Chains A and B, each alone.
Chain A
Amino acid sequence: MSNPLLKIRNLHLSMHSFDGKAHVLNGINLEVKRNEIWGLVGETGCGKSLTGLSVSGLVSSPPAEYHGGEILFDGEDLLGCHEQRLLALRGNKIGMIFQDPTTNLNPVFTIGTQLVDVALAAGASDPQVLGLTVGASGRARRRAARALAGDMLDKVGIPNARARLDDYPHQFSGGMRQRVLIAMALIGRPDLLIADEPTTALDVSVQAQILDLLRQMVDEFRMGVILITHNLGVVAQTCSHVAVMYAGNVVESGPVRRVLEQPAHPYTRALMRAIPTRDVKRGALFGLAGSVPNLLSPPTGCRFAPRCALASPACHSALPADREVAPDHKVACVHVSAMKETSYA
């Protein structure tokens, strides 16, 4: 097996702000292969979006400061990349979808215009996207781009796709707009798709359709996916793998069945316990005292330790290393072996 599609190794990121310097990513590790759908879950503010944006090179510095680690995409370190190179990767190799479909399309251009521009940009980096040879004329490229835009729109399930290219975003429903955005992200045939809470702003039935569509697209394009979400139900239904984040760390990761059925990290367990009680608001965790640490002056050692029932002096002194408790199932907790004896249910 060659390089994984994406390998994030020990990524550290601080955000400078008015209040000071917040250490928001504290050594992230994550590995995504083609055809894998990784769920990235965790409380609000734990750094999920920044992790995703970092892969696309969309976190501007300042205020961001990367101090350590690497993001390897097909073996190429993205943190050392020039903007020009990142521009070529975005859309062609790495696609992104965001949360709110009502604000992510430009309101004053038709979706055709927007899709065609994305297709042309993708075609400029990789002529094969448009199915043309290198020296094709501008006219030919525009025509090919428009045809491709129509095809993509059709593929993501917009009825009467070609005619709708001339419509403006406000003429589409929320779910339809998210389909348009998916088409836009996939038009350059990326190998990696980062979807940051793509269904949070949609109602439940539309949510399921969009997730179906995503799965279908992964099969068709053989992509790797990072699906950022708050919803463990979505993870269980959609993902092949899951990474649980807490305050800037991936505390537990592995195949989705294994992690959800036998969670090993105390934080993951708390998350799992929070699920069945439907009336608990997201983020408010059942049976978990205290709150997320202040990242301006984070605790040394395990960042979950101040809220953890099992915490011992060792937890407070050093950040626990990843331990592999089963094939591909990694947990960053010194108490893993102790917990094995306790029951989960």
Chain B
Amino acid sequence: MLRFIIRRIIMLIPVLFGLTVMMFIIARLLPGDPVALAAGPNATHEEIAALAAEFGMDQPMIVQYWTYASGLLQGDFGVSIFTRRPVLTDILTYLPATLELVFAAMALSIALGIPLGLMTAVYRNRWPDYLARVLALASISMPRFFLGLLLQLCFAMWLMTFPLGGRFPIIYEYPPFVTGFLTLDALIAGDLESFWLACRHLALPAIAMSLSPLATIMRMMRASTIEVLQHDYVTTARAVGLSQRRIVFKYVAKNAVSATLTVIGLYFGWLLGGTVLVETVFDWPGLGLYATQAIVAQDFMPVIGVALVIGLLFVLSNLVIDVLYGVINPKVRYA
């Protein structure tokens, strides 16, 4: 198992290398002059040239890449020419917010999607099944930002039960930093009031993000449950006197989940890369928002940095899924 994990991590290196090269080339191909943009509208030619020299932007592209890549190896993601801060510092500031949002959305969709998938398979072609499938189809087809707006309208503006946006009330102080997840940090600090506040801010954006993975996980789970229910061992379990509930929620569920795991892993990466719209709608201070601002400013280093981090997390999440797959299914052996 350990060897398998190490091998997968080593295989990551060329992937990430390719990613940097690609991002670098794309960034340079885009029209516009980022240095001029950063220097401001009133800057003279000399000032712009000086700024370009400061950031090494006057060098040939190969040299620029070389500087960047060798910096990367030492954990240096470059400097944003806009904020003038190291990209890594920025990323570490914004990443926890995004991760918290994605984890919350995934937790929600897994916690609901798996039992719903099981139920709809068991009540196949009866009304609970039809109802859940129609809702699933509707939520897959609805764009996330639109759903976010609807939720805001309904729960924040009319019912006023949830805040409109943001991560935490501005007038309050964040709980002491431990994990960067406000909910967890509040719990660790034993501050229930902050925990409750953080949860309420998290709720709407997490729901908006969770609906389409929820629907997909549910449909995947339904399909694999239907498949598993045909297996001989299900008949045997019935024949030796196990109750339907025990059979479905223990014996069938574990088999069906292992088929659903792959989808869960893919969705995790997909959500990570797709937080922009939801973060914008809910004013959520995460990586997506940060990356958008960088793109608008044609500030390349943060863009490449964010892409790298998301790529890394995507591959890591797939690795976790593969390991989990082996844990669930004892026949899978890693050589």
Interface residues of A (CB under 8 A from B): 56, 58, 87-92, 95-96, 98, 100, 103-109, 114, 117-118, 121-122, 125, 168, 170, 181, 184-185, 187-188
Contacts and interface: CB of A to CB of B under 8 A. Distances in A.
Given A58-B235, A108-B330, A184 B240 contact: yes
Contacts of A88: 241
A189 to B, nearest CB: 11
A100 B232 contact: yes
Nearest to B237: A106
A95 B330 contact: no
B251 A91 contact: no
16 contacts: A91-B241, A91-B242, A92-B241, A96-B240, A100-B232, A103-B233, A107-B233, A108-B255, A108-B329, A117-B242, A117-B246, A117-B250, A121-B241, A121-B243, A184-B236, A185-B240
Nearest to A186: B240
B328 A108 contact: yes
A188 B241 contact: yes
Contacts of B251: 106, 109
Contacts of A58: 235, 238-239
Given A90-B238, A91-B240, 8 more contacts: A96-B239, A98-B239, A104-B233, A107-B255, A109-B251, A170-B330, A170-B331, A185-B239
B258 A121 contact: no
Contacts of A117: 242, 246, 250
B133 interface: no
A100 B235 CA distance: 12
A73 B257 CA distance: 39
B221 to A, nearest CB: 15
A108 B236 contact: no
Contact of A109 (B236, B241, B254, B331): B254
A98 B235 contact: yes
A71 B310 CA distance: 64
Contacts of B239: 56, 58, 90-91, 95-96, 98, 185
Interface string B218-256: 000000000000011101111111110010001100110
A121 B241 CA distance: 7
Instruction: Please classify how large the interface on chain B is, using the bins under 10, 10 to 19, 20 to 34, 35 or more.
Output: 20 to 34
A127 to B, nearest CB: 14
A105 B240 CA distance: 12
Contacts of B231: 103
Contacts of A96: 236, 239-240
B228 to A, nearest CB: 10
Most chain B beta-carbon neighbours within 10 Å: one of A96, A104, A109, A170: A104
Contact of A107 (B237, B240, B330): B330
Interface of B: 231-233, 235-243, 246, 250-251, 254-255, 258, 328-331
A104 B241 contact: no
B243 A105 contact: no
Nearest to B232: A103
A99 B16 CA distance: 51
Contacts of B330: 107-108, 168, 170
Nearest to B238: A58
Contacts of A98: 232, 235-236, 239
Contacts of A114: 237
A231 B329 CA distance: 36
Contacts of A87: 241, 243
A95 B235 contact: no
Contacts of B240: 90-91, 95-96, 118, 121, 184-185, 187-188
Contacts of B243: 87, 121
A125 B303 CA distance: 64
A19 B255 CA distance: 32
Shortest 9 CB-CB distances between A and B: which pairs? A91-B241, A96-B239, A90-B241, A103-B232, A104-B236, A168-B330, A106-B233, A91-B240, A104-B232
Nearest to A83: B244
Most chain B beta-carbon neighbours within 10 Å: one of A89, A91, A108, A125: A108
Nearest to A88: B241
A144 to B, nearest CB: 17
Contacts of A122: 241
Contacts of B331: 107, 168, 170
Contacts of B236: 96, 98, 104-105, 181, 184
Nearest to A105: B233
Nearest to A91: B241
Given A106-B251, A108-B330, A125 B241 contact: yes
Contacts of B258: 108
